[in-house]
Structure 1
Amino acid sequence: MNKRNDKLGFAFTAPYIIFTTIFFLLPLLWSIWLAFTNWNLISPDIQNVGLGNFIDALKSPAIHAAFFVTYKFLLVFVPLAVVLSMIIAVLVHGLPKFKGLYLVAFFLPYLSSGVVTSLIVKGFLSYNGPLNTWLRNRFDVNIDWLGSPNTALFVVSFMIAWKMSGYYALILISGLESINDEIYEAAMMDGASNRTIFWKITVPMMYPSLYTVLILAVGVSFGIFTEVYQLTGGGPNYATNTWQMEIYNQAFVNLKSGYASAIAILASIVTFMSISVIRKLIEKWGHHYGWN
């Protein structure tokens, strides 16, 4: 019976193991080997360059820009996404009925294609788009939303936050539902204001769901590509040039696959270290309120 269960368990997990091996493990090993070579994806000749790709990447202004731009996205996108999803979760949680219907409505942008969403936003913010047309007619003002380094990053961040907020709200509303109403009643009997109840009771008791949302949002900020590719192409002046955008440009535009693999490895190291540090900080905040 045990052997039969073992075989059955392996049969159920085999598709995932095969999928992971083919589409994750083998490409990972291939990219590590490729990072030490110079290959243009076309020529049959592959030159071994040792650590040359890593040294060139560490000296590249584009890589330096991608490093700082990623953290700029982190500082702008994560707070936006958390605040928007928290507002949605609180509003929907307070509804007397049709909560599921409203949650589905807010969740729909998450299901939409990033390419389609980006094209809609690009058209909306273009020179002849409805927003700039209204600003010119009403205030005689024209803003180059995607052509200015000061606004392009915020536009991309806000668009992704809008797209992801419905998904994050689903996680946060589960945390709200888990809080016992008797705690709120006791706090109100003690004279606590709504603001005090929210910051001292609701937010700390939502730590597990907030932890999940924060880690997911941080992961998204290190993997932004589609929206940047469609809206700005990494510009202007590297203002939105992310790690993924630089990897794509080097691999498929400049045909430097080895150099692109080296950038991908550096990006993976930076992402892993950053998420580890942020996770420790979030856990320290949770320990302050008694969460283990």
Structure 2
Amino acid sequence: MERPNNRLGWLFTSPYLIYSVVFFVVPLVWSLYLSITDWDLIAPEYHFVGLGNFLDALRSPGVRSAFWVTYKFMLVFIPIVTVMALTVAVLVSGLPRCKSLFLIGFFLPYLSSGVVSSLIVKGLLSYNSPVNTLLRGFGISIDWLGTPMAALFVVGVILAWKFTGYYALILTAGLGSIDKEIYEAAAIDGVTDRQRFWKITLPLLYPSLYTTLILAFGVTFGIFTEVYQLTGGGPSFATNTWQMEIFNQAFKNLQAGYASAVALLASLATFASIYVVRKLLEWWGKRYGWS
């Protein structure tokens, strides 16, 4: 009786397994092989170079900038998107009706094209745009995409705007799972709204916060579209992300082998960073009784 069931299980899981092998396992193995060669993406022949690509990458200013820029984006993106998502979730949860309608409205930016939103922002922040014209009227002149910190902030805000609705959806579900009797007991004890949020809502929202924060940290390692459209990694490598560095080396400099080595280094940095973040979040959760 077990054999037919096993065959049926393999049959139902085979589409995902085939997809994983074709689009994940095979490219990973191919990337590992290319990382120790000098293939230029065009020539039919390439030579074995060992760990040369990795050593060159570790000495590269572009790779070092991609490493640090990722964490700079975290400092901008994570706080903004977390506060905005929490705010939206709390406000929507307090509505008497039409919650789903408002959540869909906030979720729509997540479905929008990164190319389109980047081009719109680029137009809004151009020199002759209404925004800059108004600011110059007050004596304020900012080169939004030509100044390192300003460019970093602009890209971080665009990403926060895009992902706020998605994370708010997760947090709203978490808020809905909190037992209302806890709030009623707190109200009887005279707990203020601020105390209720920090001492009750936030700790009980830990599972949803854990999920959104892990997802948000993962986003910062895959930033490409907005940077490519707005800054191209500049100015002065200020927004040069891992994905941007890989793209430039593979398709502009035609160094596919070197780009594969950079991609593997990016994967190691991603997994190591997410592991540290996960441990910190788990430590925070244990303080409130989550194991």
* Uncovered stretches (5+) of structure 1, i.e. residues with no partner: none
- Coordinate RMSD, CA, aligned: 0.9
Q: Distance in 1 between matches of 2:204 and 2:129?
A: 44
AA aligned to 2:25 is L
Q: Distance in 2 between matches of 1:225 and 1:244?
A: 6
Following superposition, the deviation at residue 109 of structure 1 comes to 0.2
Following superposition, the deviation at residue 191 of structure 1 comes to 1.6
Q: Distance in 2 between matches of 1:52 and 1:192?
A: 62
Following superposition, the deviation at residue 56 of structure 1 comes to 0.4
1:163 is matched with which residue? 162
Q: Distance in 1 between matches of 2:73 and 2:14?
A: 38
Q: Distance in 1 between matches of 2:145 and 2:35?
A: 33
Mean Cα deviation higher: 267-276 or 178-187: 178-187
Pairwise mapping of residues 139-218 of structure 1 onto structure 2 (< 5 A)?
A: 139-218=138-217
Following superposition, the deviation at residue 130 of structure 1 comes to 2.1
Shift >3 Å, 4+ stretches: none
Pairwise mapping of residues 44-59 of structure 1 onto structure 2 (< 5 A)?
A: 44-59=44-59
2:40 is matched with which residue? 40
Identity %: 64
Q: Deviation digits for residues 156-187 of structure 1, max 9, x if unmatched? A: 00100000000000000011101111111111
Q: Distance in 1 between matches of 2:125 and 2:271?
A: 35
Pairwise mapping of residues 269-280 of structure 1 onto structure 2 (< 5 A)?
A: 269-280=268-279
* TM-score, normalising length: structure 2: 0.98
Aligned residues: 291
Q: Match of 2:279, SS?
A: helix
Q: Deviation digits for residues 17-41 of structure 1, max 9, x if unmatched? A: 1111111100000000100000111
Q: Distance in 1 between matches of 2:140 and 2:280?
A: 43
2:88 is matched with which residue? 88
Q: Distance in 2 between matches of 1:143 and 1:3?
A: 68
Q: Distance in 1 between matches of 2:88 and 2:152?
A: 24
Following superposition, the deviation at residue 101 of structure 1 comes to 0.3
1:235 is matched with which residue? 234
AA aligned to 1:67 is F
Mean Cα deviation higher: 117-126 or 209-218: 117-126
Q: Deviation digits for residues 59-80 of structure 1, max 9, x if unmatched? A: 0111111111001011111111
2:117 is matched with which residue? 117
* Uncovered stretches (5+) of structure 2, i.e. residues with no partner: none
Q: Match of 2:171, SS?
A: helix
1:225 is matched with which residue? 224
Following superposition, the deviation at residue 135 of structure 1 comes to 1.6
Q: Distance in 2 between matches of 1:95 and 1:116?
A: 32
Mean Cα deviation higher: 138-147 or 38-47: 138-147
Q: Deviation digits for residues 72-111 of structure 1, max 9, x if unmatched? A: 0111111111111000000100111100000000000000
* TM-score, normalising length: structure 1: 0.98
